[in-house]
Structure 1
């Protein structure tokens, strides 16, 4: 059961250790997200209200909006992880490893792990996104943000100005491949393929997709 706004500000919680308070906040946030996802899948994103989500999680409406300022945030609960993933991969690449090599390696590992953030979200969740004009628009925006974050990381990695054309173009190419592969995972999911089947297909397709970028980016931005 989640904490409502009264409990969250009451004397018992207020006197708890900081670690306990943070754990309760995480639990409440996850509960709200889980209940929202169930309702979105059952009723559709547009038809589900914040009031219904609050009732399902047994919290106040204000508690929902405190944790999730926008309704879309409830559907894309891991959007920061998604948006920052490519930039983090570039920043953490191994000595001598190029941006392309690091991103290819990391994507193939995500495919092998059938990572939901890479697109392996299951049929019901994927259908929920595909059926919602709001969520499909939001997803395009998250891809755009991810590309912009990657461009900034590439500029920093190569010592280029933030608005330089080379890191922006490289980010567009690398982000574009990731976007195409993400869409491919969604399409195969909606076609009824299982995650292991999709992973087998995507491994080979990802290798071919990244290979197309090798002539331009194989030596770009080594660590």
Structure 2
């Protein structure tokens, strides 16, 4: 797997280039991430240790902890990059576009980019992360917690698009929460394998389509007992 970072994390015009020390630190960080995902793919998340990740880069565990609090933090770097890319892409959507439509098009585009390796994403890491969260309850819990902690950023972005105050309007919170729900529903659909989806982006698109259409689904036929 190649160490990469999405364009959303690049420096903007006029930003001075990082110095030699910062470049070295960034190379070490990326090497740790690359080694971690390689080991995760080979051994699984739970079976991989911090010491093994550090050894693969020829640094100490102490050095590892200068960059990451845990191996969960390493695994979740991909999710962090995805979330940053979603926020950047959402800000570029047309101002008059309805909120759920803007979220759908933004999130589907980033999912496709992650799968294809566009925008600087590593598709191997994306596939690895999908497998890891399916196989490791520990990492799945960490992924959900991380997404919920970052949800307020999406809430603020949606509120700005709507021109409302998130302190007094519930709608941006509900809209932002749907992004987390859609990803989980799409991941479950992919893991199930019986709905015919061929990619995560396709499953995400289908889930958002349901939200755009409305989720007040009709009840099923009354059972004999209820009649």
TM-score scaled by structure 1?
0.68
CA 178–134 in structure 1, closer or farther in 2 if over 3 Å, else same: closer
Match of 2:53 in 1: 53
Match of 1:168 in 2: 173
Match of 1:10 in 2: none
**Residue deviations 1:142-179 (CA, integer Å, cap 9, x gap):** 33234332223223442314353222223233442343
Question: For residues 178 and 201 of structure 2, what CA distance do their matches in structure 1 show?
Answer: 24
CA 203–138 in structure 1, closer or farther in 2 if over 3 Å, else same: closer
Match of 2:76 in 1: 76
Question: Any stretches of 5+ residues in structure 2 without a counterpart?
Answer: 1-16, 217-227
Residues paired across the two proteins, number: 192
Cα RMSD after superposing both structures: 3.4
Question: For residues 177 and 18 of structure 2, what CA distance do their matches in structure 1 show?
Answer: 42
Q: Which has the higher helix share?
A: 1
CA 207–149 in structure 1, closer or farther in 2 if over 3 Å, else same: closer
State the Cα distance separating 1:30 from its structure 2 match.
0.9
- Structure with higher RCO (Cα < 8 A, 6+ apart): 1
Question: For residues 199 and 79 of structure 1, what CA distance do their matches in structure 2 show?
Answer: 14
Question: For residues 44 and 88 of structure 2, what CA distance do their matches in structure 1 show?
Answer: 33
SS of alignment partner, residue 45 of structure 1: coil
Question: For residues 46 and 22 of structure 1, what CA distance do their matches in structure 2 show?
Answer: 31
Question: For residues 168 and 71 of structure 2, what CA distance do their matches in structure 1 show?
Answer: 32
Q: Spell out the pairing of 1:148-159 with structure 2 (5 A cutoff).
A: 148-157=152-161, 158-159=163-164
Match of 2:186 in 1: 181
2:82–2:110: 8 Å Cα contact kept in structure 1? no
**Residue deviations 1:51-76 (CA, integer Å, cap 9, x gap):** 22111110121111111112201112
Question: Any stretches of 5+ residues in structure 1 without a counterpart?
Answer: 1-16, 216-223
CA 42–59 in structure 1, closer or farther in 2 if over 3 Å, else same: same
Q: Spell out the pairing of 1:2-151 with structure 2 (5 A cutoff).
A: 18-113=18-113, 114=115, 121-122=126-127, 124-151=128-155
2:86–2:107: 8 Å Cα contact kept in structure 1? no
